[in-house]
C-alpha cells in the first residue's frame, strides 16, 4: 500500500486524534488538529505587504525567538508566533498536516533530503518577485539550498541562508602559537593539512597524561563532511554521482581517513574517544585551551565581547593537501525553508524575506556571527577590531574557493555520522586497519543509503 497524498485518511485520522505519542523513547508524535491545506499554489507578493494572517516560525530562541516574532509582527502587520526548533515536534507537525509556516534548517546537508521527500516548497516564484532579494545580490553559498533532483547547487531554491561560514577555515590562538614557537598561519597561503597536524602535535600541552591545551580540532560540523572535503582535496570523490553510495576505499578517501586516524591517535584534540566536555569549541577557545580549530568564520562573533580572545584570535584559510586543489566548503548555511503543506505561504514568505534580507539581516551582518547571504550586506561585517579586520580580509579572499558539495537525499547526515562514530574507536585503537575501516564504512553506509533509496520509491 502506498499513500502519496498528505490529505489521505491517515493524516485526517491523525488530525482528529489530537495527540500522539509514538513511544516511551521520546518518539512522541504530538499532533495538531487540522488537516493539510490543499491550497499549495504559491502566490508571490514581493515584499509581503499584502500578506495577512498568522505565521508560525519554528526556530531556535537565539535566532528567531519571541523577540524577533514581536518585531516581525510590528514590521509586517502579521501575527507571528514561534515554536522552538525540535525535530520530533517538526515531524509530528508535518505528520499531522499542520506544519509550521517557516522552519529553521541547514541548507547544505538537508536540502536534498527534504526535497526528495516532497516536504519543502519551491521558493523560486517568491524570489522572482522579491523586492529585497535580487538575483545578482545572492551570494553563491545560497546555492546549497538548491536541488534539481540529481545534484545540489542547481535547480529551484528551497530555502535561504540567514548567514553562513566556510566551515573549514581556521581560527587559531596566536598566543599559544607564539608560546610553542610555532609560526602563526599565513592569512593568504593555506597550510598543508600535514603541516597543520605536525603543528597540532607541537601545540598540544599536557599535564602528565592529561591534555590541558588541545593542539587542533579538525572535527568541524561532523566527520562525514570533513572526510568528504578531504577526499575532495586529495582529488577524489567520496559520494558517487548518483548520491546513492559512498566509497571510502579509493586512494583519495584512504588518504583522508589516514590523516584523520593519525590525528586521533596522536591524542592532540577532541575525538570520539576523548570528547571535549564543553561540546563545542567556543568555551574551550575562550579558556585558552585550544590552539587551532577548523570552525569557520562564524566563531569570530564570540570574540567580539571577549577582549582576551579578541587579542589572540587569528583567522586563516582552509588548509589543503599537497595536490594543489583548494576547496573551502560550507556544511551549514543555516537558514529558513517553508513546508509545502504550510497554510499561509504568502505571509510566511513575508516573514522570511524580512528576516533574511530586512533589518534583522543587517543587524546580524554587523554582529559578526557568520557571513550575510546577500553580497550587499557583506560590507556591514565587523572590521573595527584588529582580529575582525584580519578575519574579514581572509574571508573575502576565501570566497573564491567555495563550491557546492552535493549531499545525498537518501540518508540524514546524522545517520551517516553515527556509523562513522560507532566504528571509529576500533580504528583509532588500532584494532581495525584503515582498509578494513573503509570497507566497514562502505558496507554500513551503503546499506543505509540503499534502504533510504528504497523508501523513496
Question: Which residues contact other proteins (rule: CB under 8 A)?
Answer: 1-6, 10, 14, 17-29, 87-88, 91, 94-95, 114, 116-119, 208-212, 272-275, 277, 279, 411-412, 414-415, 417-419, 421-422, 425, 448, 451-452, 454-457
Cβ closer to other proteins: 393 or 439?
439
> Which region, left, alpha or beta, applies to residue 77 given φ > 0 means left and ψ of -120 to 50 means alpha?
left
Smallest distance from the beta carbon of 246 to other proteins, in angstroms? 15
Residues 6+ apart with CB under 8 A from 308: 286, 288
Cα–Cα distance for residue pair 113/118, rounded to 1 Å: 9
Catalogue the E-assigned strands of 66-189.
79-84, 102-106, 146-147, 152-157, 159-161, 170-173
Residues 6+ apart with CB under 8 A from 222: 331, 413, 414, 417
Cβ closer to other proteins: 61 or 273?
273
Smallest distance from the beta carbon of 150 to other proteins, in angstroms? 18
Cβ closer to other proteins: 167 or 398?
167
Smallest distance from the beta carbon of 94 to other proteins, in angstroms? 6
Cβ closer to other proteins: 18 or 77?
18
Cell 594543489 sits on residue? 324
Q: How far is CA 440 from CA 127, 336, 347, 451, in A?
A: 44, 36, 48, 17
Cα–Cα distance for residue pair 343/90, rounded to 1 Å: 15
Smallest distance from the beta carbon of 423 to other proteins, in angstroms? 10
Residues 6+ apart with CB under 8 A from 447: none
Cβ closer to other proteins: 274 or 323?
274
Smallest distance from the beta carbon of 8 to other proteins, in angstroms? 8
Smallest distance from the beta carbon of 1 to other proteins, in angstroms? 4
Cβ closer to other proteins: 397 or 456?
456
In contact, 353 and 336? CB cutoff 8 Å: no
Smallest distance from the beta carbon of 424 to other proteins, in angstroms? 10
Quick count: other Cβ atoms within 10 Å of Cβ 119?
20
Cβ closer to other proteins: 116 or 336?
116
> For the purposes of burial, counting CB atoms within 10 Å of the CB of 430, is it exposed (0-12), middle (13-18) or buried (19 or more)?
exposed
Amino acid at each position: 500500500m502506498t499513500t502519496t497524498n498528505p490529505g489521505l485518511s491517515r493524516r485526517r485520522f491523525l488530525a482528529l486524534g489530537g495527540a500522539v505519542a509514538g513511544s516511551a523513547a521520546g518518539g512522541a508524535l504530538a499532533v495538531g488538529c487540522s488537516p493539510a491545506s490543499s491550497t499549495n499554489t504559491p502566490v508571490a507578493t514581493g515584499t509581503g505587504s499584502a500578506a495577512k494572517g498568522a505565521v508560525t516560525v519554528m526556530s531556535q530562541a537565539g535566532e528567531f525567538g519571541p523577540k524577533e516574532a514581536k518585531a516581525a509582527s510590528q514590521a509586517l502587520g502579521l501575527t507571528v508566533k514561534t515554536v522552538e526548533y525540535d525535530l520530533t515536534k517538526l515531524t509530528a507537525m508535518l505528520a499531522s498536516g499542520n506544519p509550521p509556516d517557516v522552519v529553521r534548517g541547514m541548507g547544505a546537508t538537508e536540502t536534498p533530503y527534504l526535497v526528495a521527500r516532497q516536504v519543502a516548497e519551491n521558493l523560486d516564484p517568491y524570489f522572482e518577485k522579491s523586492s529585497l532579494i535580487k538575483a545578482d545580490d545572492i551570494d553563491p553559498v545560497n546555492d546549497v539550498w538548491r536541488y534539481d533532483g540529481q545534484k545540489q547547487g542547481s535547480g529551484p531554491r528551497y530555502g535561504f541562508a540567514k548567514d553562513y561560514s566556510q566551515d573549514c577555515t581556521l581560527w587559531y590562538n596566536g598566543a599559544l602559537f607564539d608560546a610553542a614557537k610555532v609560526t602563526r598561519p599565513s592569512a593568504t597561503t593555506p597550510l598543508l593539512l600535514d603541516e597543520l597536524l605536525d603543528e597540532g602535535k607541537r601545540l598540544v600541552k599536557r599535564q602528565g597524561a592529561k591534555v590541558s591545551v588541545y593542539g587542533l580540532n579538525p572535527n568541524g560540523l561532523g566527520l562525514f563532511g570533513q572526510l568528504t572535503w578531504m577526499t575532495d582535496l586529495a582529488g577524489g570523490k567520496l559520494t558517487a554521482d548518483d548520491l546513492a553510495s559512498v566509497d571510502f576505499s579509493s586512494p583519495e578517501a584512504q588518504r583522508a581517513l589516514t590523516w584523520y586516524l593519525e590525528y586521533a591517535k596522536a591524542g592532540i584534540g577532541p575525538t570520539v574517544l576523548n570528547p571535549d566536555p564543553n561540546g563545542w569549541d567556543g568555551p574551550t577557545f575562550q579558556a585558552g585551551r585550544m590552539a587551532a580549530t577548523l570552525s569557520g568564520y562564524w566563531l569570530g562573533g564570540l570574540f567580539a565581547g571577549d577582549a582576551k580572545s579578541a587579542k589572540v584570535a587569528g583567522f586563516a584559510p582552509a588548509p589543503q593537501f599537497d595536490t594543489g586543489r583548494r576547496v573551502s566548503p560550507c556544511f551549514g548555511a543555516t537558514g529558513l525553508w517553508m513546508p509545502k503543506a504550510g497554510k499561509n505561504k504568502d505571509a510566511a514568505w513575508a516573514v522570511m524575506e524580512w528576516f533574511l534580507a530586512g533589518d534583522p539581516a543587517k543587524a546580524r551582518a554587523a554582529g559578526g556571527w557568520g557571513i550575510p547571504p546577500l553580497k550587499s550586506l557583506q560590507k556591514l561585517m565587523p572590521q573595527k577590531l584588529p582580529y575582525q579586520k584580519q578575519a574579514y580580509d581572509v574571508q573575502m579572499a576565501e570566497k573564491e574557493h567555495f563550491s557546492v558539495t552535493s549531499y545525498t537525499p537518501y540518508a540524514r547526515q546524522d545517520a551517516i555520522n553515527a556509523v562513522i562514530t560507532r566504528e571509529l574507536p576500533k580504528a583509532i585503537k588500532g584494532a581495525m586497519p584503515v582498509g578494513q575501516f573503509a570497507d566497514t564504512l562502505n558496507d554500513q553506509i551503503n546499506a543505509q543509503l540503499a534502504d533510504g533509496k528504497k523508501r523513496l520509491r
